[in-house]
Chain A
Amino acid sequence: MTATAPQAEHDERLIRTSPLRKLMGRPELGSIVGAIAVFLFFSIAADSFLRASSFGTVLYAASTIGIMAVPVALLMIGGEFDLSAGVMVTSSALISSMFSYQMTANVWVGVFVSLLVTLLIGVFNGFMLTRTKLPSFIITLGTFLMLTGLNLGLTKLISGTVSTKGIGDMEGFEAAKAVFASQITIGSVNLKVTILWWFVLIALATWILLRTRAGNWIFAVGGEKDAARATGVPVNKTRIGLYMGVAFAAWVSGQHLLFSYDVVQSGEGVGNELTYIIAAVIGGCLITGGYGSAIGSAVGAFIFGMTSKGIVYAEWNPDWFKFFLGAMLLLATLLNAWVRKRAEARS
């Protein structure tokens, strides 16, 4: 063992961890490399991809996925899945729309009732998980199916059709639209407010993960549940909190859905839950939990946005989107695994 100098800033055995190595240890690196590749690819393949106006479109597409991908990534770091996340967005939109319409109340009343109910769905998921100790895959699959059925069944029962009645002329609609579905135009770039919400969520989630006790607990619960419990981490509370985070984002997304179109189709949202998970995984979240980042999920969502819109700009058949997505998922996961192995096998 070499002599130590505690006061020295640098330990001579730390064979100059180069900034590059440090960077490679970050979970989001693989996704950033992937994002650059996708960007270059579509820059060449589609002329209109590089236009400023396309930028706003791509960002918007990314933000609608990204808003959900952030809490889904946190949940994955905490070691769990939420398959009900996609339809929960629709449920949330349906609740505010139908509650306001049926009660002929100010739409804000519906919006807050929706927040309450959506959060309760999150609590239900978390509570069932901690109580039954069944895999979250099964529990949220159950919630997913139940919500899908409820969305369709209740909407038909109340509205008579598969979509809700328009609430565009109701009190408070304009104000709520400003919060959840407005846009500003800078030059030729249209920026939707969801982009702002997305960035706020990324910043908040990153802060929570890296700089709060709760963040430490999320990593620990996902990494080694029993160890976390043994050291006094409130495992159950952490998990319920994570499901509530997903529910909160589902509420934001749901309100956006409602206030951009003013009616909601009750069958929407099915399949989106996988999109969120894919964005999180591309962003470097370990599927077994305990590792990942919120920024990574954002990059994953951005790759999604670029691909879905890039294919349109390249004037290809959008059917190819899914193929691209699948290939991207495999490549990104392989790249992540490779990068992590290289980063851990240091010195």
Chain B
Amino acid sequence: MSTAAQSAAPLVQLDDVSKFYGNIKALEGVSLEVHAGEITCVLGDNGAGKSTLIKIIAGLHQHDAGTFRIEGEETTLVNPRDALDRGIATVFQDLAVVPLMPVWRNFFLGSEPTRGRGPFRRLDVQYMRETTRSELLRMGIDLRDVDQPIGTLSGGERQCVAIARAVHFGAKVLVLDEPTAALGVKQSGVVLKYVAAARDAGLGVVLITHNPHHAYLVGDRFVLLKRGAMSGSSTKQDTTLDELTRQMAGGSELDELSHELERAPAPAQIGGHTVAPGDDKPSS
């Protein structure tokens, strides 16, 4: 794991950020930092405020209190396009891909390169194909055929294409919304590898997850959310997987959970289970 040199100002810095929907506190007093070449993990159960946080960073929602700094400069993002222009690319769970379209068409969707002028302005198909292939290869994804419909790829591969697309279009900060949520153990591993590859390429990554195992494998910083508030914040140096899991699960449910984890240590899939049923709220 690379401990990247701490640059002067973090790429993204939230300080005491809050968000209210009417009289509901969706998010209260959350702080986090994203540095280049580092992965900041946001952990939390369903309804903890992860979606709200991601929407603020992605420019879909605006924060109501606190400060949001991009490279040291205080900002409020107006819309997702604004966020993209500032170098923040968000890969949501639905990935924004069109299943029936070939991989290379999906890769450039909305930003297609063209050649020629006037009525002869056309897609630069060869460049698109080659770039898709080489960009995916750079991320370590060796695709058999960029012409195949993206819907025929596995969930993990699709996730990786979406990440590679964000990287190619010049993202400085990559926000990933539960990239491993619907995946099996092996697929999750593959995706985490590409997340690490994006980090090694110098990007700052925000990884949203409810799986402390996945978070601990790649994360440099950890922010824990619970019921819209920050319940913990730590760096890799001063926490352990056990500690992270403990914080995530919360006191009483822990005995049961640790029992489960003893039987299957490392990255067993606990993603699908509801760890703390009492905390369930309709997710925002």
A223 contacts the other chain (CB 8 A):
yes
Contact of B100 among A14, A219, A228 (CB under 8 A): A219
**Which residues 23-37 of A have a CB within 8 angstroms of B?**
none
B270 contacts the other chain (CB 8 A):
no
Instruction: Kindly list chain A residues whose C-beta atoms are within 8 Å of the C-beta of B261.
Output: none
> How many residues of B are counted as interface, with CB atoms below 8 angstroms from the partner's CB atoms?
30
Instruction: Kindly list chain B residues whose C-beta atoms are within 8 Å of the C-beta of A233.
Output: 109-110
Instruction: Kindly list chain B residues whose C-beta atoms are within 8 Å of the C-beta of A215.
Output: 123
> How many residues of A are counted as interface, with CB atoms below 8 angstroms from the partner's CB atoms?
28
**Are B142 and A227 in contact, with the CB atoms below 8 A?**
no
B274 contacts the other chain (CB 8 A):
no
Instruction: Kindly list chain A residues whose C-beta atoms are within 8 Å of the C-beta of B112.
Output: 213, 216
Contact of A4 among B110, B137, B149 (CB under 8 A): B137
Stretch from B36-44, B70-78, B89-97, B228-236 forming part of the interface with A: B89-97
Instruction: Kindly list chain A residues whose C-beta atoms are within 8 Å of the C-beta of B101.
Output: 216, 219-220, 223, 290
A212 contacts the other chain (CB 8 A):
yes
| Contact mask for chain A residues 1-27; partner B; CB cutoff 8 A; 1 contact, 0 none | 100101000010110010000000000
**Are B123 and A11 in contact, with the CB atoms below 8 A?**
no
A1 to B123, CA, bound (A): 32
B125 contacts the other chain (CB 8 A):
yes
A215 to B80, CA, bound (A): 24
**Are B123 and A216 in contact, with the CB atoms below 8 A?**
yes
Chain A residue at minimum C-beta to C-beta distance from B144? A13
A103 contacts the other chain (CB 8 A):
no
A88 to B124, CA, bound (A): 37
Instruction: Kindly list chain A residues whose C-beta atoms are within 8 Å of the C-beta of B142.
Output: 1, 4
Instruction: Kindly list chain A residues whose C-beta atoms are within 8 Å of the C-beta of B284.
Output: none
**Are B98 and A223 in contact, with the CB atoms below 8 A?**
yes
A215 to B109, CA, bound (A): 11
A224 contacts the other chain (CB 8 A):
yes
Minimum distance in angstroms from A336 CB to a CB of chain B: 14
- Whether A216 contacts B137 in the complex (CB less than 8 A), given A224-B98, A226-B94, A227-B97, comes out as no
A232 to B149, CA, bound (A): 20
Instruction: Kindly list chain B residues whose C-beta atoms are within 8 Å of the C-beta of A42.
Output: none
Instruction: Kindly list chain A residues whose C-beta atoms are within 8 Å of the C-beta of B110.
Output: 220, 228, 231-233
**Are B105 and A230 in contact, with the CB atoms below 8 A?**
no
A215 to B114, CA, bound (A): 12
Instruction: Kindly list chain A residues whose C-beta atoms are within 8 Å of the C-beta of B144.
Output: 11, 13-14
Interface centre among B109, B125, B145 (most CB of A within 10 A): B109
Minimum distance in angstroms from A237 CB to a CB of chain B: 13
A169 to B92, CA, bound (A): 65
Interface centre among A14, A215, A230 (most CB of B within 10 A): A230
Instruction: Kindly list chain B residues whose C-beta atoms are within 8 Å of the C-beta of A232.
Output: 81, 110-111
Minimum distance in angstroms from A209 CB to a CB of chain B: 11
15 residue pairs of the A-B complex, CB under 8 angstroms, read A6-B133, A6-B137, A11-B145, A17-B145, A216-B101, A216-B123, A223-B100, A224-B96, A226-B96, A228-B98, A230-B92, A231-B111, A233-B109, A290-B98, A290-B99
Interface residues of A (CB under 8 A from B): 1, 4, 6, 11, 13-14, 17, 207, 211-213, 215-216, 219-220, 223-224, 226-228, 230-233, 286, 290-291, 344
Interface residues of B (CB under 8 A from A): 80-81, 92, 94-101, 105, 108-112, 114, 121-123, 125, 133-134, 137, 142, 144-145, 149, 152
